[in-house]
Amino acid sequence: MLGLTSAHKTWMHRLPVGPKLALLALFSVVLFWLDNLWPMLVALVLVAALVASGGAGFARQALRLLQPVWFFVALLAVWHLWLNDPLNGLRIALRLVVAVTAANLVTLTSRLSDMIDLIERLLGRKVALTLGLALRFVPVLGERAAMLSLAWRARSQKRAAWRLVPGLTVGAFDEADHMAEALRARGGLV
Amino acid sequence: MTGTGAVSHGIDLTGAEVSLLGKRLLGPVTLNISERRVGIIGRNGSGKSTLLRLIAGLVAPSAGQVRVDGIDPSGDRKGLIARLGILFQNPDHQIIFPIVEEELAFGLRQMGLGKVEALAQAKARLVAEGRGHWAGRPVSSLSQGQRQYLCLLAVLMMEPATLLLDEPFSGLDIPTARGLAAHLARLSQRLLVVTHDPLVAQAYDRVIWLEGGLVKGDGTPDAVLPAYLTAMEAADAGPDFGA
């Protein structure tokens, strides 16, 4: 999450985050309004052109980020072929790919701290801080899960899987307590 | 050398107690602490960390009174954080933000600085410490010793006159621990250090020995440490995990 901003600098990096997000919102609303296939194809060409304008390295990165989407596209294709409604399937798949690509464009070309700043201006310091805390704790909880899994395997031949969940949950509450104390030690949310 | 914004007159505890769920963890304790280097020693569970949290205002006294330079630590948070900083035993319990410079800037913003100014000071401090390249790094990429150091920097940037440290050397390798000790020795702040290491406490102005939540010994290292070590090595001193 921390490394999602693309290191391939593009002209889009220089645009401020606020207008980018506003454009994305507008673009997505219009995209879901469209019923006709042709304007949708125009939207697809538009985002493809934006991706291409960032250069080859940037485009490769944007394509890689689409990987999880292809699975859903395949699922949609099978489902709508089975329903004998391929046109509708194509429409939904197009929407999905175009919307996700557009959203990724914003993520790839914006610094995380700029995003958090924007959220702070729009929704206040508490919400922004919450987002920052969530990002801080994704790697921490991941590490804890890995440690618990190692501790399990050190004393068992079987894999741990779901049985680690209670320990992880208790651990998360524990982390929350420590975090509250750390915030308090430096003045809390004032 | 780190300059301090405020001058500390001292810490006063008067019959202070901390109880949790009807169980008394600490006290009653009456102490006046005005020395520059103070060690707090005692066995596991003797109330050392509780005493630090009480002085830092992270827990309120269930009886008695605590004052840091005349301020009530759990009541006047804003006044306290400008005067006193605390370093937790585990840096991961202390670090709030994912990026190094944000962690350093947080305390300054808490003290009323604007975001841009706070970040600029954080960066300048890192550069001054020879770690300018840390600014944009994720905290998760730092080692244990580096995280400990980051926590110390974050607290020092708030320029407190008093610094509380909970076993700052545990978990560090010998060179790292020695580096930290040298860094601490150069500080002009008043230091209150919880430690298990008699060698560390030997160099301090005063040593306070806690046992079962009460003060068992208090004075110069020469007056307190021999009795402490004798008690720790006595035949009836069972291990903490004993029956």
List, for residues B219-236, the tens digit of each pLDDT value.
999 999 999 999 988 867
Angle at B73 between CA B67 and CA B78, to 5 degrees: 130
Measuring CA to CA, which residue among A37, A151, A150, A185 is closest to residue B94?
A: A185
Angle at B164 between CA B160 and CA B168, to 5 degrees: 120
| Chain B residues close to A130, C-beta within 8 Å | none
Q: How far apart are CA B76 and CA B71, in angstroms?
A: 7
**3-state SS, one letter per residue, for chain A:** CCCCCCCCCCHHHHCCHHHHHHHHHHHHHHHHHCCCHHHHHHHHHHHHHHHHHCCHHHHHHHHHHCHHHHHHHHHHHHHHHHCCCHHHHHHHHHHHHHHHHHHHHHHHCCCHHHHHHHHHHHHCHHHHHHHHHHHHHHHHHHHHHHHHHHHHHHCCCCCCHHHHHHHHHHHHHHHHHHHHHHHHHCCCCC
Q: How far apart are CA B176 and CA B75, in angstroms?
A: 36
Q: How far apart are CA A100 and CA B234, in angstroms?
A: 69
pLDDT in tens, B161-215: 999 999 998 888 889 888 888 999 999 999 999 988 888 899 999 999 999 999 9
Longest CA–CA separation in chain A, Å: 63
| Chain A residues close to B106, C-beta within 8 Å | 186
Across the interface, which of B86, B115, B140 has its CB nearest the CB of A185?
B86
pLDDT in tens, A38-93: 999 999 999 999 999 999 999 998 998 888 899 999 999 899 999 888 888 899 99
Min Cα distance A73 → chain B (Å) is 34
CA B159 → CA A112, A185, B54, B92, B162, distances in Å? 29, 14, 20, 22, 9
B140/A140 Cβ within 8 A: yes
**What token pair was written down for B53?**
């949290």
Q: How far apart are CA A50 and CA A42, in angstroms?
A: 12
**What token pair was written down for A10?**
């593009």
| Chain B residues close to A186, C-beta within 8 Å | 81, 96, 106-107, 110, 154, 158
A143/B140 Cβ within 8 A: yes
The pLDDT of B118-122, averaged and rounded, is 94
Q: Is the peptide bond before B28 cis (omega within 30 degrees of 0)?
A: yes
Cβ of B115 under 8 Å from any chain A Cβ?
yes
Interface of B with A in 128-157 (CB under 8 A): 138-140, 154
Cβ of B228 under 8 Å from any chain A Cβ?
no
A2/B86 Cβ within 8 A: no
Q: How far apart are CA A113 and CA A119, in angstroms?
A: 10
Min Cα distance B121 → chain A (Å) is 17
B95/A182 Cβ within 8 A: yes
Instruction: Return the residue matching tokens 């990165």.
Output: A61
A187/B98 Cβ within 8 A: no
Residues making up chain B, counted from first to last = 243
SS3 B179: helix
Query: Of all residues in chain A, what percent carry a pLDDT higher than 70?
Result: 96
Cβ of B92 under 8 Å from any chain A Cβ?
yes
Min Cα distance B76 → chain A (Å) is 10
pLDDT in tens, B12-41: 999 999 998 889 999 899 999 999 999 999
CB hemisphere CA count around B77 (13 angstroms) = 16
Q: How far apart are CA B226 and CA B106, in angstroms?
A: 43
Q: In a mutagenesis test of the B interface, which of A112, A126, A133, A136 is the best target, namely the one with the most B β-carbons within 10 Å?
A: A136
Q: How far apart are CA B192 and CA B178, in angstroms?
A: 18
B111/A136 Cβ within 8 A: no
Question: Sorting pLDDT into bands at 50, 70 and 90, what band is A162?
Answer: confident
Residue type for position B239: P
| Chain A residues close to B90, C-beta within 8 Å | 178
